[in-house]
Chains A and B, each alone.
Chain A
Amino acid sequence: MNGPTKMKTDPLSLVFCALGGLVLLFIVAPLASMCIDCSRPEFTETLQDAEVQNSIWLTLSTSMAATLVFAFAAVPFAYLLARKDFPLKGLVTGIIDLPIVIPHSAAGIALFGVVSRTGFLGKAAGQIGLSFVGTGAGIALAMAFVSLPFLINAARDGFLAVPVRLEKAALNLGASPSRVFFTVSLPLAWRPILSGLILMWARGMSEFGAVLIIAYHPMVTPILIYKRFGEFGLEYARPVAVIFIAVCLLFFVAFRFLAREKQHAQR
């Protein structure tokens, strides 16, 4: 059996448990402390603050929009990466991971050069009356730039896990390549793709550096938290952070649950 086995109380497992506990504490303690330190009146007042509400809605919606729009290109691209060999494939794979490793403020600067009114994309968009700097579209671009690798990598791994034999069988049964993609490959890789979509969406929501460069206004929640911390201090920033984390967690858990339900339904 290759799966996890029931944990025994041997010394090595106990040592690993202790180390794991420390890691968990490191993640949970600051979040728990922040929630405990946030008083109820502060929390209620912030919850009713229109600026906070608008900011959270903007963050959720732009990240969702960025995820869905880019998925149309990213998922077929991931299929290509999983199934085809082509020159410089290694380089292409490396480029996809680039946004993960470069500092996000640097990514924002790079993107700004392209989408600003003097950049080629900004210029082209300007001709049809569209602007990226200081707009929701610009925020979505910044979020997508830093979070796309999560979707592409998850989708590629999902497609790789689909047996090529099944696609061959579908072709042999008379299906066109596009029919094979939509009726066999995509449904079988759906769960990893959904995980990738959730990850991309969540990563986009938490983006600060790149969005700050492209669009300080309208203000997404990470920037609002930073602004309140800088201008009014920890007490004003904390309730916004708690609410934002709670909303993100709520959606994250809900989507994960849906993804799991989908998997059970397929069994």
Chain B
Amino acid sequence: MLSVERISKTVGALKLKDISLEVRPGSYLVLLGASGVGKSILLETVAGLVQPDSGRLLLDGKDITNEKIQRRRIGLVFQDGALFPHISVYANIAYPLRCKKLKASAIRQRVTELAEDVGVAHLLKRSPTALSGGEIQRVSLARALAGEPRCLLLDEPLSSLDTKARFEMRALLRKIHRRSRQAIVHVTHDYTEAVALATHVAVMEHGTIVQSGTVHHIFQRPKSEFVAQFVGIKNFFKGNLRDPDSGQGKTKHFRTDGLDFSVLTDGAPGSGFVCIRSEDVTISNGVFSGQDAATRQAHTSARNNFEGTILDIIPAGPGMEVIIDIGRDKPMELAAMVTSESVKSLGLHCGKKVSASFKASAAKYIEQ
């Protein structure tokens, strides 16, 4: 649907080099990258606010590289919302509709629908200067959607929000994407947003795309050290969260492919992901079963203890990455980062049976 083909652009010290991306209908692409790599310039180039030095943009097969901004049908939500402070929330959402010269009754109906959709119906008469960060982003989203864009671009929409507002906004973005299959490109430096929202991820470094693919592909098979360090999570599991049997406490059960993890989270039961940094996984010699397993559980603060077989030991930066298969019904890889001294002293080698542990607090749950 939207194709970015070899776009290059230099703005001061920022350089975009040969950027190519493909956004398919209904996909949610998260563009991950550190601050200052040119993510926002890329979005502005796609939106037509910045003209590329070279390359082209195609929307539904049509070349829009030199198309007027107003005719592109690409909506952009700015990081700070960019609401017009001198007009009401209603007038902000109505702005693109008035540009289209729709009738007042049609505008009123559409604004009301959109405001209800994003949960700002009670704020329509307010001034944008009297809104919270989360409310600003919701209004900005409604305003962008009012223009009925073919593709919606979001420039770090969650970065200035507090934790509660961020979760609510994530849920809203998921709802909008699921319901309308709106194609979305979402720029962020936070990998958890990619996990929670994306169908596809592209990672940007030094003004260029270093890897792109599905979320699983990027997180579990990082192509370069930069991607590995940036997304940083190899232990990445999809499954369902449920409350503990006793119904007490914050430690919940997360079931994934036949295994149960204990997870310390405030998250509500439902489907989601659990991420565990490989640095948080410890390995010990020996396999515990039956009574031994219960004894071990009683002598460690780690709530998650699994037996497995070492599949691979890979040098990774200063340490060694040990890949262990902890799966029961089917293979399931768990990566543990250990020192090379530990590999030697524990006598770790491929095929060896070991125990792997991590704490419930090290398992980060991300709602889907």
Contact = CB atoms under 8 A, between A and B. Distances in A.
Interface of A: 163, 165-166, 168-176, 179, 183-184, 187-188, 266-267
Contacts of B287: none
B131 interface: no
In the complex, which range does the number of interface residues on chain B fall in?
Answer: 20 to 34
Nearest to A174: B99
Given A172-B49, A175-B70, A267-B129, A166 B82 contact: yes
B72 to A, nearest CB: 8
B100 interface: yes
B99 A165 contact: no
A167 to B, nearest CB: 9
Nearest to A175: B99
B44 interface: yes
Given A169-B76, A172-B75, A173-B143, A188 B85 contact: yes
Interface string B81-103: 01011110000000110011000
Given A179-B99, A267-B127, A267-B129, A172 B76 contact: yes
B261 interface: no
A266 B96 contact: no
Nearest to A176: B70
B84 A166 contact: yes
A178 to B, nearest CB: 12
B47 interface: yes
Contact of B84 (A170, A171, A176, A179): A170
Contact of B95 (A163, A165, A173, A188): A173
Contacts of B69: 171-172
Given A173-B99, A173-B143, A168 B44 contact: yes
A171 B67 CA distance: 13
A165 B86 contact: no
Contacts of B80: 165
B84 A184 contact: yes
Given A172-B48, A176-B99, 9 more contacts: A170-B84, A172-B49, A172-B147, A173-B96, A173-B99, A174-B100, A183-B84, A184-B84, A187-B86
B191 interface: no
Contacts of A169: 76, 78, 82, 84
Contacts of B96: 173-174
A166 B76 CA distance: 12
A142 B100 CA distance: 45
Interface in B16-54: 44, 47-49
A171 B100 contact: no
A168 B146 CA distance: 16
A173 B87 CA distance: 15
Nearest to A173: B96
Contacts of B99: 173-176, 179
Contact of B86 (A168, A173, A176, A188): A188
Contacts of A175: 70, 95, 99
A123 to B, nearest CB: 44
Contact of A170 (B48, B95, B127, B129): B95
A131 B308 CA distance: 101
Which 9 pairs from chain A and chain B are nearest by CB?
A174-B99, A169-B82, A173-B96, A171-B69, A172-B76, A174-B70, A168-B49, A187-B86, A165-B82
29 contacts: A165-B78, A165-B80, A165-B82, A166-B82, A168-B44, A168-B78, A168-B82, A169-B78, A170-B95, A171-B49, A172-B47, A172-B48, A172-B69, A172-B74, A172-B75, A173-B75, A173-B95, A173-B99, A173-B143, A173-B147, A174-B70, A175-B70, A179-B99, A183-B84, A184-B84, A187-B86, A266-B85, A266-B86, A267-B129
Contacts of B78: 165, 168-169
Contacts of B129: 267
B40 to A, nearest CB: 10
A214 to B, nearest CB: 40
A193 to B, nearest CB: 13
A124 to B, nearest CB: 39
Contacts of A184: 84
A97 to B, nearest CB: 29
